[in-house]
Amino acid sequence: MNNIVAIVGRPNVGKSTFFNRLIQRREAIVDSVSGVTRDRNYGKSEWNGKEFSVIDTGGYIKGSDDIFEGEIRKQVELAIDEADAIIFVVDVEEGITPMDEEVAKLLRKVTKPILLAVNKVDNGKREQDALEFYNLGLGEYFTIAGMSGSGTGELLDKLVEVLPEMPDAVEEENPLPRFCVVGRPNAGKSSFINALIGEDRFVVTDIAGTTRDAIDTRYNRFGFEFNLVDTAGIRRKAKVKEDLEFYSVMRSVRAIEHSDVCILMIDATRGFEGQDQSIFWLAEKNRKGIVILVNKWDLVEKDTMSTRDYEAKIRKEIEPFTDVPILFVSALTKQRLLKALETAVKVYENRSQRISTSKFNEHMLNIIEHMPPPALKGKYIKIKYCMQLPTPVPQFVFFANLPQYVKDPYKRFIENKIREHWDFSGVPMDIYFRQK
């Protein structure tokens, strides 16, 4: 499992630029996913061989620039609760502001690693100016320039040194598939799991957020055996009144990274909202299997919205990855719950299927011959061979003479052809073109 690093600080100090710099490092290696820039506040980074997840808390604060300190304070408290290390970004141009002092006051009480990053330091004079940040009482600081990236190396060296060791996942002989149930607060995650298990294993009340931590349940019924993870992850009741968006996304990060299939529950009466979309793209980015369950369908006025319209609306929001099962369920009346489980198992099987190289070539090369990639600058692209890579998630490589000329629309065409012939419903896939 990865450590979670949260970036905190008041608006406009350059948190997002710094965040983008951290995650690009990683995306440059893994072929960044086209068209998925919807969630600029979560990503993965790697430094000196250590991988960690990064959350930019700034992305969750809605409103104008002069946001009430309350919002910032809330984000910092959540980060202190959930993250394994915190990077506090301040701005050398503006010096120490009252809001910085407020944040520092919260951070001084914390035993977790805190790194102070003084941003926008791009010359000697500013190095001098940075000295005043010793007054925040957080010890040594790191001077960085988010735009040019100078200084981030030293900061990251220190970060990976202070990150706590994560316990290695215990390798079982035959590890069971892990299905995690994710979604915004009050979508009915615990009720869904209780209905499946047939016992009130979790206390379910109408107050959003009575489940504090992800809980695993080994599930064995109807010939399925797997671990069911309930993230229902919102905090103790005292804090329920607060904005829970950032919290539930943060809580979902760990569960999603550690599972095979994500069952995303949405509340039919509220629609597929921003937070549902964040969690969806989080699962997609981590290449997990996905099943969408529209819960509380029994409460929706059927004449205003049919299942077909509702489903079409969701598919529109998740383009271009639309090959995802969507089921309408009710945890309360137990309608279609077993179907939901069967679907999750099917998605798990889809995700682990292997296509033999000979069959794959026979089918795909025939299609490519009839519909080759469009020529670019008078150069013709020839694809002679393709195969599925031996990775835990579906990845396919096509060997071509000019792979750099193959553009995204053709990659999507190839992906659609693979999906038409083999069942990869609910499973994100990667298509690579390489020099033969």
Structural domains in the chain, sorted by start: 3-162 (3.40.50.300), 178-352 (3.40.50.300), 357-435 (3.30.300.20)
> How much helix, strand and coil, in percent to the nearest 5, is found in the chain?
40, 20, 40
Residue 44: phi and psi, rounded to 5, are: -115, 145
User: pLDDT of 313-324, one tens digit each?
Assistant: 999 998 888 999
Pick from 195, 252, 203: nearest CA to 219: 195
pLDDT attached to residue 16? 78
Token pair 């020099």 in the structure block, residue:
435
Tell me if 298 is assigned to a ligand binding site: yes
Residue 68 banded pLDDT, cuts 50, 70, 90: low
Q: Is residue 409 a known part of a binding site?
A: no
Q: Is 188 annotated as a binding residue?
A: yes
Instruction: Please state, for a pLDDT cut of 90, what percent of the chain lies above it.
Output: 33
What is the pLDDT of the chain when averaged over all its residues? 80
Confidence of residue 149 (pLDDT cuts 50, 70, 90): confident
- Identify the three-state secondary structure at position 155: helix
Does pLDDT of 78 surpass 80? no
| DSSP designation for 17 | H
| 120 labelled binding-site residue | yes
- By three-state DSSP, how is residue 263 classified? strand
The reply, when asked if residue 124 is annotated as ligand binding, is: no
Say if residue 232 carries a ligand binding annotation. Answer: yes
β partners of residue 167: none
139 is in an annotated binding site: no
Cis peptide before 320 (omega within 30 of 0): yes
In this prediction, residue 113 has a pLDDT band, given cuts at 50, 70 and 90, of very high
Does the annotation list 296 as a binding residue? Answer: yes
Range 259-269 average pLDDT: 92
Supply 129's token pair. Answer: 């100016």
Determine contact, residues 133/107, Cβ cutoff 8 Å. no
223 marked ligand binding residue: no
Provide the pLDDT for residue 182: 87
Beta strand residue intervals within 93-214, DSSP E: 114-119, 141-143, 178-183
- Establish whether 288 is an annotated binding residue: no
Is there a binding annotation on residue 58?
Answer: yes
Dist. CA 362–CA 367, nearest whole Å? 9
As a whole number of angstroms, the distance between CA 433 and CA 436 comes to: 9
pLDDT, position 398: 95
Parallel/antiparallel/unpaired status of strands 141-143 and 395-400:
unpaired
Q: For 371-375, what is the mean pLDDT?
A: 91
Q: Is 60 labelled as part of a ligand binding site?
A: yes
Are 54 and 2 a contacting pair, CB within 8 Å?
Answer: no
Query: Cβ(358)–Cβ(350) under 8 Å?
Result: no
187: annotated binding-site residue? yes
Residue with tokens 């490589």: 397
Q: Is 194 annotated as a binding residue?
A: no
189 marked among binding-site residues = yes
Taking only the tens place, the pLDDT of each residue in 335-351 is 888 899 889 999 999 99
185: annotated binding-site residue? yes
Q: What pLDDT score does 133 carry?
A: 92
Instruction: List Cα–Cα distances, 166 to 2, 111, 169, 435, in angstroms.
Output: 7, 17, 9, 38
Asked if 103 contacts 9 with a C-beta cutoff of 8 angstroms, the reply is yes
Q: Is 10 annotated as a binding residue?
A: yes
3-state secondary structure of 25: helix
Q: Helices H, strands E: what count in the chain? A: 12, 15
14 is in an annotated binding site: yes
Q: Is residue 44 classed as helix, strand or coil in its secondary structure?
A: strand
The helix/strand/coil state of 335 is strand
Output the six-digit token pair for 32: 């960044």
Residue 119 labeled ligand binder: yes
